[in-house]
Amino acid sequence: MKRSTSIVLVVFLVLVGLMLYLNQKEPGTEEAAITPAVPIEFLFSDSDGLPTSIDIKSKTGEQTVLARNEAGVWVLKKPIETEADQASAEAAASQITSLRIESRLDVAPEAAGLVQAPYMLTVETTSGTTMTVRIGDLAPTGVGYYALISGSDETLIISRTGLDALLTLLESPPYINEPATNTP
């Protein structure tokens, strides 16, 4: 056999061996248990429609109420009646529709701070649905707040990120122009 033929034969065998090696399945990949993905669940469903009114109250007496007027423009009803910053109001409405239910628990409302809830969120939607949610203590995991929908006895944990963004409306209502304060 010629030397060049031997070299081509050796290279061919090396390539075939490499191909077989690379095509081998890793052991255990098919036997690994595949965990099904948990579907994402939202506090408000698509069938509820879009928010037309958002009312957030704290047990200390602070309250912010946003509502769409007849022209579909967001207005601030409380703490004072005035036109609302449309971008901030729309952001709040979007936040409402994206509030995630992180988990459903069998926890007594007393243990979750829901009897004397620190916050109440009432939302009216385009479908005519009105939902009131009591927002309680922060869950020990820090992932969300305990919540209880009026008319339900099931304690939920609602995404902290979404609720924190809405609760800031109590401290910073979406005014177009900050109201003048009387300072001496």
CA angle in degrees (0–180, nearest 5) for 70-75-78: 125
Residue 159 resides in a domain: yes
Residue 167 resides in a domain: yes
Tally Cβ neighbours within 10 Å of residue 158.
Answer: 25
For residue 120, pLDDT beyond 90: yes
Q: How many CA atoms lie within 13 A of 72 on its CB side?
A: 2
Q: Stretch 159-172: mean pLDDT, rounded?
A: 88
CA-based nearest residue to 163, from 112, 120, 113: 120
Residue 182 resides in a domain: no
For residue 116, pLDDT beyond 70: yes
pLDDT of residue 183: 46
Q: Which domain holds residue 148?
A: 41-171
Question: What does the pLDDT look like over 41-98, one tens digit per residue?
Answer: 888 877 888 898 999 999 998 999 999 988 889 999 988 888 888 888 898 888 888 8
Residue 148 resides in a domain: yes
Residue 94 resides in a domain: yes
Residue 2 resides in a domain: no
User: For the chain, what is the domain count?
Assistant: 1
Place of tokens 């506090």: 43
Residue 95 resides in a domain: yes
Residue 31 resides in a domain: no
